[in-house]
């Protein structure tokens, strides 16, 4: 619900910069993550090193591409309440170029991660031979590379239109962004499937799931909205953007985090239910593998971390409006995303007699923190390059008068 009453704009906030403590913690995380990966590589444990790298790089990549997807969704939904938060997802997209290059580097560790990258294994396996036209390193680099390039291109187009509006004003850039947004969401549906298939699903090329790409999409949405909630909530708590972001805006953002949490649970249950009901060996192997070798507690902890706890904590209305309650839940969701990626990747990197055994994800968590730290530094650099609020957006007044 919104009101038509207008009022004078608050004082322009200028540009934002990451607090010194956040920059320091980010640098420390990068150093810790780099040290953990370097130690794993130096010890010759290539599977641990590359699986940790994959978890971290995919986590950060999801945050980057969510920035574009969220902008596109909000532009098409004409969600005027989000105008004063727009710089957050715009800055998130700045990760796509460096993050895309780091993602392509996963191909260097293909022999440690993907059985289909070994020619002798493919030749001796009828199913892998059948899938070889798609599962080969040439197609990996081509399709993943094109997908990432499209994300970078659409991010530049949509964010560029927003920055052009900062100079020119008017409704024209908004209409341009809506056009690009409509095209991008179609492209995104295809490319997120391709990227998730190659990077995650093909870790076990014998397994398949028609719900997998949708599940990864829900991961991206839930984690991305949680990151936006952390940044926006901390800004409100620290008095930044005072007059531009208030508890009404946080309420709508909190409802999106809440909805994404329920959506994830629905899709996760659907994948499990379809596999359980059909009871096809090619499908059930995914959950069977995560019940063996000590992985069952990790699997059972996932829905509790990603759904049960955050859902119950966010049921009250105040939990969506109070940043002191919203931010901790959002941080929990970010940790839960790491946990899900660990459950996806950890049991899948070894097969047969050499099947991976459950272990505390010390290296994996350190590597992921390193990528989050690097993402945060790039995010902060981008955030500080432009005005904190799009003051010339025609929908700004409607946003400031928003009530929920």
CA pair distance 136, 133, nearest whole angstrom: 7
Q: Is residue 10 part of a domain?
A: no
Query: If you average pLDDT over every residue of the chain, what do you get?
Result: 93
Choice between 101 and 388, residue whose per-residue pLDDT is larger: 101
Q: What is the pLDDT of residue 379?
A: 97
The neighbouring-strand residues paired with 402 are 2
* 1 within a domain of the structure (yes/no): no
In a domain, 44, yes or no: yes
Can you tell me the distance from the alpha carbon of 184 to that of 268, in angstroms, rounded to the nearest whole number? 25
Residue 7 lies in a domain: no
Residue 14 lies in a domain: no
**Stretch 247-265: mean pLDDT, rounded?**
96
Residue 150 lies in a domain: yes
pLDDT at 6 over 60: no
DSSP code per residue over 362-394: HHHHHHHHHHHHHHHHHHHHHHTTSBSS-TT-T
Q: Are 289 and 355 in contact (CB under 8 A)?
A: yes
Q: Report if residue 73 sits inside a domain.
A: yes
Q: Which of 107, 49, 20, 113 has the alpha carbon at shortest distance from 366?
A: 49
Residue 270 to residue 152: CA distance in whole angstroms: 32
Count of domains forming the chain: 1
Distance, CA of 346 to CA of 380 (rounded, Å): 31
Range of the domain at 131: 20-400
Task: Please state, for a pLDDT cut of 90, what percent of the chain lies above it.
Answer: 83
User: For residue 258, is it within any domain?
Assistant: yes
Q: How confident is the model at residue 86, as a pLDDT? A: 95
3 has a pLDDT exceeding 50? no
Indicate if the alpha-carbon torsion angle 139, 142, 145, 146 is positive or negative: negative
At residue 98, the pLDDT reads 97
Nearest alpha carbon to residue 264 among 252, 272, 253, 254: 272
CB-based burial, 313-347: b 16+ in 10 Å, e otherwise: bbeeeebbbbbebbbebbebbbebbbbbbbbbbbb
């Amino acid at each position: 619900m919104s009101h038509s009453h207008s009022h004078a704009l608050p004082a322009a906030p200028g540009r934002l910069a990451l607090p010194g403590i956040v920059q320091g913690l980010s640098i420390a995380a990068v150093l810790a993550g780099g040290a953990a990966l370097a130690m794993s590589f130096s010890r010759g444990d290539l599977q641990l090193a590359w699986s940790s790298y994959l978890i971290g790089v995919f986590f950060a990549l999801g945050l980057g591409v969510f920035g574009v997807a969220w902008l596109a969704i909000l532009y098409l939904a004409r969600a005027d309440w989000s105008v004063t938060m727009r710089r957050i997802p715009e800055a998130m997209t700045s990760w796509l170029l460096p993050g895309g290059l780091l993602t392509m580097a996963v191909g260097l560790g293909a022999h440690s991660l993907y059985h289909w990258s070994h020619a002798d294994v493919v030749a001796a396996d009828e199913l892998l031979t059948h899938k070889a036209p798609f599962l080969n390193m040439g197609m990996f680099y081509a399709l993943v590379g094109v997908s990432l390039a499209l994300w970078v291109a659409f991010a530049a187009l949509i964010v560029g239109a927003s920055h052009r509006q900062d100079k020119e004003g008017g409704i024209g850039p908004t209409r341009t962004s809506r056009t690009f947004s409509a095209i991008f969401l179609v492209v995104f549906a295809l490319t997120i499937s391709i990227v998730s298939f190659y990077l995650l699903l093909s870790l076990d090329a014998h397994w398949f799931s028609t719900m997998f790409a949708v599940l990864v999409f829900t991961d991206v949405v839930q984690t991305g909205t949680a990151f936006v909630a952390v940044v926006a909530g901390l800004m409100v708590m620290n008095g930044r953007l005072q007059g531009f972001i208030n508890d009404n805006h946080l309420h709508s953002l909190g409802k999106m985090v809440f909805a994404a949490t329920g959506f994830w649970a629905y899709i996760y249950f659907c994948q499990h239910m379809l596999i359980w009901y059909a009871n096809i060996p090619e499908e059930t192997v995914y959950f069977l593998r995560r019940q063996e070798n000590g992985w069952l507690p990790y699997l059972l902890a996932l829905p509790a971390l990603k759904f049960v706890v955050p859902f119950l904590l966010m049921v009250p209305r105040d939990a969506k409006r109070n940043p002191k309650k919203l931010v901790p839940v959002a941080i929990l969701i970010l940790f839960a995303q790491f946990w899900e990626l660990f459950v996806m990747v950890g049991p899948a990197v070894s097969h047969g007699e050499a099947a991976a055994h459950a272990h505390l994800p010390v290296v994996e968590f350190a590597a992921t923190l390193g990528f989050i730290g690097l993402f945060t530094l790039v995010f902060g650099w981008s955030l500080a390059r432009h005005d904190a609020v799009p003051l010339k957006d025609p929908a700004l007044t409607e946003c400031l008068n928003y009530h929920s």
